[in-house]
Structure 1
Amino acid sequence: MTTSTEMSQLAIVTGASSGIGKATAQRLAADGFHVLAGVRKQSDADKIAEVNIEPVILDVTDQTHIDNLVERVASDPHKRPLRTLVNNAGVAVNAPIEVLTLDDWRFQFDVSVFGQIALTRALLPALLANKGRIVNITSVGGRVAMANFGAYSAAKFAMEAVSDSLRREVEEFGVTVVKVTPGAVSTNLTDSGLAAAARIADTMTPEQHERYDELGKAFTAQAEGFARDGVTPEHAAGVISRAVTARKPKTRYTIGRDGAMFTFMPRIASDRFLDTVLRSQNKSLAKTKS
């Protein structure tokens, strides 16, 4: 139910062009927030603009964009306080570590770690002043690092640490930090991840193809399975809405059965057991693409 308090507050959602981010912007707008929806292109802004959703051009790696957003919040014509920052923007660079270039690693971290940190730091004074909430969208890849997910998982593991440290630094000042951990969600991040993997595969040597082509088939099958069987972005947005609006939120919410399973599994399973399970899973997935 929308409250008058929520209607008088701002929420920022990054990566709102599509998928989880777009669905979250729409859900929070329906909850009554005025949502500043971060998108990278004007064409995406035109598509998402609607009642209570104000698109803002935001590349989290561009300091000018960040400064503009901070100014937009500070100069809100209705003097609405910033209630929530949902850090959702991210990319997926998936390939074996041997074949990833340092530029690939930098791109993954620039968007998925350093950009998130830069935006959070810039908005933290407003969030502190308003006793707001930061919701970081993590991943099961930040709990279990699977083969072919080295750069992506490293970035998500980093955001797990950033989230925990920040929560312990600012909670006593009234700012709540919450992690939301999705499993398989049907979004276009799957398509962009497959495209990035194909681009990198084109640079591999014959010896690397011999080593990793089966792994590439497994990754493709898994990604296609996410697109086919994953929960909808709207389902994910419902969980994020709870993380935003709960009076006493948990420190983590999971999305989907696999989100819950992979969050819990590292606590009870040994590394060797996980190695065996994941290796067997990859072999089975690869067969489906042979």
Structure 2
Amino acid sequence: MNETQQLTIVTGASTGLGAAAARELARRGFHVLAGVRRDADADAIRSADIEPVALDITEPEQVAALAARVASDPRPLHALVNNAGIQVNAPVETLPMEQWRWTFEVNLFGHISVTQALLPALLRSKGRVVNVSSIGGKVAMPTYGAYAGTKFALEAVSDSLRREVAPLGVPVIVVEPGGVRTEMATRGIATANRLAAQMTPEQEERYGDLVQANNSLMASGTESGLTAEAAARVVAKAVTTRRPRTRYTIGRDAALITRLTRLLSDRMLDRVIATNLRRHYPKGAPA
């Protein structure tokens, strides 16, 4: 494979795993089209082999412009890495419906939109689709209903797409990160606190300590997680391996949790999750 003659696309490349994956793929010789939303992010990531493109995956005009950019390039498209996403955490009862819809718009429908637009190019080049999911696509923690819902759905769409296009020469790979030291957790905690502030007093009594415990667990898991650069090397492996697996986990926590979902009953997994979460409840709070 002559990587210098091939394109890759990474969505959500402004910061974190997306930015690290764009740099790792560029280091390996690809010309990377890096989807960003702000001019400052474009300036930060631009290099000889990284070409920032304005891309909000929920905006059809920008998705169409990306497809046109690829169509105008004589180099084949080797891979589309669907990485963009947001983290929204709140109890099912309290999360406003517009937030449910927006989370699915970004974390699921946006990826489908980009994939539909780029599949003709990928089919021509026998390229591949790499969907960045999460361990949240395997197990849904409390307050993760919306986020995990999008990731479970992305896993299902990936399976369906793989079975549709593998016979046509296009592999579809899912990458499932656990804790990764990026800004996503910080933004997720801020969003969780903002949503918690909108709860009624009765909802606060029911779920306030749970939200705090989950924020603490999220911060702890991120702090002990892999660096974005280490995680990006797994994404690059999914992009470059000649015969890729259908799924790759990132981090020991992701590998462990994925294994537990296969071995434990729902009730037993509930107890494991509750025990792990109990350590993060505020002192004196019932867990």
Query: Does 2:131 correspond to 1:136?
Result: yes
Query: Does 2:179 correspond to 1:184?
Result: yes
Give 1:274's match in structure 2, choosing from 258, 262, 269: 269
Deviations 1:199-244 (A, max 9, x none): 1111101111111111111111112113321100001100011111
1:18 aligns to what?
15
Query: Does 2:167 correspond to 1:209?
Result: no
1:70 aligns to what?
67
Contact 1:8 1:33 in 2 (8 A): yes
- Structure 2 length as normaliser, TM-score? 0.97
Q: Does the residue aligned with 2:180 lie in a helix, a strand or coil?
A: coil
Contact 1:218 1:289 in 2 (8 A): no
| Structure 1: 5+ residue stretches without partners | none
Contact 1:132 1:176 in 2 (8 A): yes
- Counting only pairs closer than 5 Å after superposition, residues 76-115 of structure 1 correspond to structure 2 as 76=73, 79-115=74-110
In the alignment, the residues of structure 2 paired with residue 277 and residue 111 of structure 1 have an alpha-carbon distance, to the nearest angstrom, of 30
Percent identity of equivalent pairs: 53
1:57 aligns to what?
54
Deviations 1:119-142 (A, max 9, x none): 000100000000001000010000
| Structure 2: 5+ residue stretches without partners | none
Q: Does the residue aligned with 2:213 lie in a helix, a strand or coil?
A: helix
| Aligned-partner residue type, residue 146 of structure 2 | A
- Structure 1 length as normaliser, TM-score? 0.96
- Counting only pairs closer than 5 Å after superposition, residues 123-162 of structure 1 correspond to structure 2 as 123-162=118-157
Deviations 1:241-279 (A, max 9, x none): 111100110001110001111112111100000111111
The runs of at least 4 consecutive aligned structure 1 residues that moved more than 3 Å come to: 287-290
In the alignment, the residues of structure 2 paired with residue 264 and residue 135 of structure 1 have an alpha-carbon distance, to the nearest angstrom, of 22
1:244 aligns to what?
239
| Aligned-partner residue type, residue 217 of structure 2 | Q
| Aligned-partner residue type, residue 80 of structure 2 | L
Give 1:165's match in structure 2, choosing from 160, 163, 177: 160
CA positional deviation for 1:288: 6.7
1:199 aligns to what?
194
1:45 aligns to what?
42
C-alpha RMSD of matched pairs (Å): 1.2
